[in-house]
Amino acid sequence: MCGIFGIVTSQEQLLGDILTAAARRLTYRGYDSVGIATLSDDGRIDLRKDAGRVDTVAVKYNFSEMSGRRGITQLRWATFGEPSQVNAQPHLDSDGDMVGAHNGNVVNNVELRQQFIAEGLTVRSQNDGETCVHAVEHYINKGYDFIDAIRLAYGDLAGDYAFVIGHVRDDKLFAIKKGSGLVVGLGEDADGRPFTCVSSDLPSILPLTRKIVRIHDDEIITLWADHIELRSVKDGKRLYREPEIVTQNMDTVQKGGYPHFMLKEIHEQPQVAREVLHLLEEAREVNTVIERIRKARLLYLIGCGTSYHACLIGSVYFAQLAGLAAIPVLAPQFIPQYAPAVNHEDVGLFVSQSGETKDVLNALQVAEKRGMTGIGIANVIGSTLTKSTACWLPLCCGYEISVPATKTFTNQVVTFLYLAYRLAGREPRELEQIPALMERTLEMTDLQMKALAGEINAWNDLYCLGYGATYPIALEGALKLKEITYAHCEGMLSTEFKHGPLSAVSEGYPVIFAAPPDDVPLIVSGINEVTCRGGRAIVIGEDDSRLRANASDMIALPKAGPSISPLLAVLPLQLLAYYVSVARGYDPDFPRNLSKTLTVD
């Protein structure tokens, strides 16, 4: 994720407080490090940055005294390259006359860095934001002018990102984007002097102006204090777009126009899946993880709550795709059940959104004492888990604000699927269809789940069943329903239902089935056990005439095959839980009694 903000004003002035306020409003996109660069008319760049939260770093480096006519700030959500001063953004080019910052991921960062080092450029960090700056410098050194150098760099920088850059002997800022968002603001200060600004997102712009222009992929925007110029990256031709006036209030804007963070985060899933897939393709750490898994005597997948459900599906993927047995285990149960049998040949993948869950850290500590290799899979880089494991993989989701985990779950599943593909020697590029399939799933199921929520709202007790790779999805769907609707929803293996719980079924009793495409006949049996007793069998799965003929309700998913389909099935379940919660008048973002990070036993 990460966030950028840049401003161009009409005259030299104190810019530190304006940039700090903008950075504060981007904190939701990252808080591992922050930096500010100001550019003055006398040819000076003042760059101050460090690891830590905005308010701490702002005081430590006295951001308030920073002045200039142009300024850039960046909030970092670390992926690769630890949160540190050198990796903090913005970054300078080799001789310090250009400064830039980005958000997102440049997935060919490693190759480009090597190329720039070989060319003799001064590369100071591991961070891909610095690579963006050098990518421009590379073309300037070849004699291109500034704007053409940025356009050419755009072609070299692969991934999803937004990038802003300024040159000290100039009066403008330039910005480009690929995949990520980028918005420009046009306004006047309290004395009626014009300014322009650019940012990854609206919350940093709206306190300054409501007149905005949204930038698209393959466009380059130039900002002067009193006007902007939009051009095509490809041929440099001028493009014209009328500014729009944003009327939404700040609360709605911070939620990306959605009424709750949970709904926003549900809809962010395709984009963060795209980002994590890009990153996994490029990260050298992945090869280390694969090697260690291959050599392991026993492999454990360890987590709590939603992260444990990802471990469960990971274990199904490892077995089904790579013929590799992995033991999924709830972190606290690992200690009495498996730790006594662990030795130095074993490997544990410790999975956690926060990287701070005490139950997970306790298990890691015990496991490592017995010589086991611990590998982290975490969203919050710089968390205790990433600092305590030999090696870790990032989930690349940015800040997940809503208490119920959504986008971090799907990226955990995507990460496991990716690892399983690699272990199986299959081409992971097949997984690149996932983001588009997720988008399609959200489009296809949203209205249906909203309507269904109204109908099942009357029930305070229900079941969610799955089989094989959809068994963990059923557990996850049930957890989401429990967590934010306060109804009792039990997740279960579909074949177990007849061994007792079937007695709960009465007229209209809702039972949700997540149907794996390869096991339709088995699910059809389960459906009939429910419907013949008057129950309501709600089926989520790839469209199939056998399911349609038997189900009370069919929630059709796009065709995706046995590995990807279970991942898609969780999306309508998240939507259902969300809509029931809202229908009940609850706040799904902050369910009662719960906390996002559980640092207690």
Residues that bind ligand F6R (CB under 6 A): 304-307, 352-354, 357, 360, 404-405, 479, 483, 598
Residue with the two structure tokens 């972190």: 331
Cβ atoms of 40 and 91 closer than 8 Å: no
Q: Is the Cβ of residue 127 or residue 574 nearer to ligand F6R in the bound state?
A: 574
DSSP 533: T
In the complex, what is the shortest distance from the CB of residue 354 to ligand F6R, in angstroms, rounded to a whole number? 3
Q: Is the Cβ of residue 6 or residue 404 nearer to ligand F6R in the bound state?
A: 404
Cβ atoms of 167 and 93 closer than 8 Å: no
CB atoms within 10 A of CB 85: 14
Q: How many residues does the chain have?
A: 601
In the complex, what is the shortest distance from the CB of residue 310 to ligand F6R, in angstroms, rounded to a whole number? 9
Q: Give the integer Cα–Cα distance in Å for 369 and 509.
A: 49
Considering only CA atoms, which of 417, 126, 473 is closest in space to residue 277?
Answer: 417
User: 2 catalytic, yes or no?
Assistant: yes
In the complex, what is the shortest distance from the CB of residue 518 to ligand F6R, in angstroms, rounded to a whole number? 28
Residue with the two structure tokens 């014009």: 194
Q: Is 257 helix (H, G, I), strand (E, B) or coil?
A: coil
In the complex, what is the shortest distance from the CB of residue 478 to ligand F6R, in angstroms, rounded to a whole number? 11
Cβ atoms of 16 and 38 closer than 8 Å: yes
Q: Give the integer Cα–Cα distance in Å for 593 and 582.
A: 17
Query: What do you get for the CA distance between the two ends of the chain, in Å?
Result: 31
Q: Give the integer Cα–Cα distance in Å for 598 and 601.
A: 8
The one catalytic residue in 211, 358, 450, 596 is 596
CB atoms within 10 A of CB 448: 18
How many helices and strands, by DSSP H and E, does the chain display? 19, 25
Q: Is the Cβ of residue 306 or residue 581 nearer to ligand F6R in the bound state?
A: 306
Q: Which two tokens stand for residue 26?
A: 């981007």
Q: Is the Cβ of residue 90 or residue 374 nearer to ligand F6R in the bound state?
A: 374
CB atoms within 10 A of CB 39: 28
User: 596 catalytic, yes or no?
Assistant: yes
Q: Give the integer Cα–Cα distance in Å for 311 and 409.
A: 10
Q: Is the Cβ of residue 46 or residue 265 nearer to ligand F6R in the bound state?
A: 265
In the complex, what is the shortest distance from the CB of residue 261 to ligand F6R, in angstroms, rounded to a whole number? 13
The one catalytic residue in 2, 132, 311, 464 is 2
In the complex, what is the shortest distance from the CB of residue 374 to ligand F6R, in angstroms, rounded to a whole number? 14
Q: Is the Cβ of residue 140 or residue 573 nearer to ligand F6R in the bound state?
A: 573
Catalytic residue positions, numbered: 2, 596
